[in-house]
Amino acid sequence: MEVRAKKALGQHFLTDQSIARAIVDALRNDPQAPRDVLEIGPGMGVLTQYLIKRDDIDPMMVEIDTESVEYLLTHFAGMQGKLIEGDYLRLNISKFFTDKYRIIGNFPYNISSQIFFKILEDKDKVPEVVCMIQKEVADRIAEGPGTKTYGILSVLLQAWYNIEYVLTVGPGAFAPPPKVKSAVIRLVRNERTELACDEKLFKTVVKMAFNQRRKTLRNALKQMTPEGMDTSDPVFDLRAERLSVDDFVALTRRFEQL
């Protein structure tokens, strides 16, 4: 019996074996990289089958769908203790990984942004992520400043990760086919160990700036700008989409020094 695809869980099963292999191969074979790898949403195990063959990694899986979990337990040997049945977004990851681990998965598209925010919470323990997501989201994440799709996730992820576009995947590679194109990207943790500003304030500034992305920063950030603060600097004439990560850091510092 195959798993019946459930829309609410973002289930589109990849059926193209050569793409599945390419995704697993995109996870670098590097002796420096952690052996622990977490697969998010294994489904019927199209990636899992190649992951468990690699002798440079120790895979773990987290799957929310009971039917998929049963499928994996009956079709793959040695799953016990490696397969967590649960919601990745609610998982207390540190319970499973005391040390660094990598992440791989064909993410459920409806929660891919939430997955990235959760990965960011644990960024110092996650040096590498290989994932398939909706192509539009992949483009957004990988874009630099000055483009229409550059946004909150681009800035927050690019602050900590170098993002590489791996490949585009058409709807025909899945059952059932999604309505949109997909893309595989690889995120590799950069050298940054800390931001040169308060991290929480940085996130607030970035979110607020993009929430009203049509407005100049002067107007978009008005709510958090204290009375009397000098906003005559030309940076405040710009829109959020013009600013690089470092520009946002510099901008955040202006609000810190109050």
Nearer of residues 88 and 101 to ligand SAH, judged by Cβ: 88
Q: Taking CB positions, which residue lies at the least distance from ligand SAH? A: 41
What is the signed CA dihedral for 197, 189, 167, 91, rounded to 10 degrees? -90
Instruction: Report whether 160 contacts 123 (CB < 8 A).
Output: yes
CA angle (186 as vertex; 182, 188 as ends), nearest 5: 155
* 130 contributes a contact to ligand SAH by CB under 6 A: no
Beta strands in 16-152 (DSSP E): 36-40, 58-63, 83-85, 102-106, 128-134
Q: Helix or strand or coil: residue 235?
A: helix
Question: CB of residue 159 vs ligand SAH: minimum separation in angstroms?
Answer: 25
Of these, 36, 106, 155, 249, which contacts ligand SAH (CB under 6 A)?
106
CB atoms within 10 A of CB 150: 24
Question: CB of residue 134 vs ligand SAH: minimum separation in angstroms?
Answer: 12
Of these, 19, 26, 27, 42, which contacts ligand SAH (CB under 6 A)?
42
Of these, 9, 33, 249, 251, which contacts ligand SAH (CB under 6 A)?
9
CB-count exposure of residue 240 (10 Å: 0-12, 13-18, 19+): buried
Instruction: Report whether 107 contacts 129 (CB < 8 A).
Output: no
Q: Using CB under 6 A, which residues numbered 46 to 105 contact ligand SAH? A: 46-47, 62-65, 68, 87-89
* 125 contributes a contact to ligand SAH by CB under 6 A: no
How many residues belong to the site for ligand SAH (CB under 6 A)? 24
| Order of strands, sheet of 58-63, starting from the edge strand that comes earlier in the sequence | 83-85, 58-63, 36-40, 102-106, 128-134, 182-189, 161-169
* 252 contributes a contact to ligand SAH by CB under 6 A: no
* 225 contributes a contact to ligand SAH by CB under 6 A: no
Question: CB of residue 42 vs ligand SAH: minimum separation in angstroms?
Answer: 5
* Interacting residue ranges for ligand SAH, rule: CB under 6 A: 9-14, 40-44, 46-47, 62-65, 68, 87-89, 106, 108, 111
